[in-house]
Amino acid sequence: MTTLSTIRALVRRDLKDEDQAVYRWTDDEIDRAIEKAVLEYSEYSPLQQLTALVTVSSSAAVDISTLTDRIDVLQVEHPISQNPRQFRRFTVWADVLTFLDGYYGDAANCNVYWLKKHSIDAGASTVPATHEGIIALGAAAFAISSQAQYQVDMANTGGQKVNKDYNFWAKAMFDQFYTALERIRSYNPRRLKTTEMTTEE
């Protein structure tokens, strides 16, 4: 099972930083880099979610504050269990979804189709196992980039060329990371979002 420690080990392997006695990056630095990589990954391949939320009778507003780590809302179905399914036009502002066209809730549930950020923690991960390498690659790139900035801040204590070496290394890793993300991209908001849809064809 993929966990934070699993990904951290992969990142250290990519960084050639596996000797615990002389780690170049601390676990906290690696974990922060992983967090950044997961955030970037989520923008290209977010977690698809379906949540039933209650509507308010005679109100166009629906509270979506429980949809945590939300990237976007794609569709809202109301009433549910219809054939064909009924999708409503809507807008989203902060944690409130508002039906358009004078449409109101009826105190029954609506189905909200939305996209969520991925997560990796000590116990579990929402990232598919087949994409572990992509996350590790991106995290390594972020870690190297941070190290390059650190060397600049330390007035090049590792030598005049060390920050340039890190920057070249980071750029190569970032190029591979974003190429991989483009290859697995599953989310294009202009292509998938269907706020204009009223019924399923």
Could you tell me if 138 and 36 are in contact, meaning their C-beta atoms sit under 8 angstroms apart?
yes
pLDDT by residue, tens only, the chain of 201 residues: 689 999 999 999 999 999 999 999 999 999 999 999 999 999 999 999 999 999 999 999 999 999 999 999 999 999 998 999 999 999 999 999 999 999 999 999 999 999 999 999 999 999 999 999 999 999 999 999 987 765 554 545 555 555 678 788 899 999 999 999 999 998 766 555 544 444 444
Sort 38 into a burial class: Cβ within 10 Å, 0-12 / 13-18 / 19+. buried
Task: Domain ranges for the chain, please list them.
Answer: 4-44+120-184, 47-116
**To 10 degrees, what angle do helices 132-153 and 162-184 make?**
150
Say how many C-beta atoms besides its own lie within 10 A of residue 54's C-beta: 13
103-115 pLDDT, tens digit per residue, is 999 999 999 999 9
